[in-house]
């Protein structure tokens, strides 16, 4: 099969690595598996490697591209494949909730939600993930390619060396499903690390037990701020040892041993205090 992308040099300061391996592209499109009526939104389409196959499969989609040098070539090349709505903006400034509300279509379960896709720049992956979390009720699912190490952190459980703030914050609000690994050679220029594709599915509101998102974020941030500290010390600005014990958490434990549910229970107790 021929490549659908166009040639534009990658910009190192924007963390650009353009995907070119057709077998990987096909696996991503298959993983997304767009259905009629889906509102697909791609973050950072780059040279259109994923965009155009998805557009051919689905007919229309929205893309968010920050690099102004890619905007005109994307718009021009997309005409042969389908209807492309192009937003030239920093994705961290895009309000996904508003974007979803602008879609007049309705799905079987009510107002239409977004399906996010993207090969995320490594230097912005965590901020983009946290930004998407802020708009989780407006998002149906997310299929992202990230540094493999980041995907491992996202999916890690307590006791793992890579279990941390990202793991807890994401798993409290989403199901995290690693899909497959992508080698460096699938990109131009080739990064120095492996990548991986992951699916995030926001939990229904009825399943999210966090009472106060701000308190939860603060507890998790402080708990993992200095990993070698015990929670008694790491959380001293938020609560005392008695509050930890009341939530069933040993004050002498370290954050990496504590399950997501315990952090939720502690933050809820502090929010109610």
169 vs 216: CA distance, rounded Å = 8
Q: DSSP assignment of 248-266, as one string? A: T--TTS-GGGS-HHHHHHH
Please state, as a whole number, how many other Cβ atoms lie within 10 Å of the Cβ of residue 49.
25
Q: What is the CA radius of gyration of the chain?
A: 20
124 vs 231: CA distance, rounded Å = 29
81 vs 114: CA distance, rounded Å = 21
Give bridge partners of residue 143 from the DSSP assignment. Answer: 117, 199
Positions at the binding site: 17, 19, 44, 65, 90, 119
Positions at the binding site for S-adenosyl-L-methionine: 17, 19, 44, 65, 90, 119
166 vs 240: CA distance, rounded Å = 24
139 vs 151: CA distance, rounded Å = 19
Q: Is 110 exposed, middle or buried (0-12, 13-18, 19+ CB in 10 A)?
A: exposed
């Amino acid at each position: 099969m021929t490549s659908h992308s166009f040639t534009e040099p990658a910009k190192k300061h924007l963390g650009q690595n353009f995907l070119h391996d057709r077998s990987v592209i096909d696996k991503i499109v298959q993983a997304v598996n767009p259905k009629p009526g889906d509102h697909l939104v791609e973050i950072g389409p780059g040279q259109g490697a994923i965009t155009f196959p998805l557009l051919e499969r689905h007919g229309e989609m929205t893309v968010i591209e920050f690099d102004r040098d890619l905007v005109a070539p994307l718009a021009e090349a997309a005409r042969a494949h389908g209807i492309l709505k192009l937003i030239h903006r920093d994705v961290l400034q895009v309000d996904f909730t508003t974007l979803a509300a602008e879609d007049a279509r309705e799905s079987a379960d009510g107002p239409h939600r977004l399906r996010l896709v993207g090969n995320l720049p490594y230097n912005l992956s965590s901020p983009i993930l946290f930004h998407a979390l802020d708009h989780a009720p407006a998002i149906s699912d997310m299929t992202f390619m990230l540094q493999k190490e980041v995907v491992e952190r996202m999916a890690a459980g307590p006791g793992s060396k890579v279990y941390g703030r990202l793991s807890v914050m994401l798993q409290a609000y989403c199901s995290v499903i690693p899909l497959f690994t992508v080698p460096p050679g699938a990109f131009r220029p080739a990064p120095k690390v492996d990548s991986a594709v992951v699916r995030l599915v926001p939990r229904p509101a009825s399943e999210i037990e966090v009472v106060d998102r701000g308190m939860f974020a603060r507890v998790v941030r402080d708990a993992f701020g200095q990993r070698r500290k015990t929670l008694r010390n790491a959380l001293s600005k938020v609560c005392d040892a008695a509050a930890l014990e009341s939530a069933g958490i040993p004050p002498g434990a370290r954050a990496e041993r504590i399950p997501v549910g315990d952090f939720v229970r502690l933050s809820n107790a502090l929010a109610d205090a």
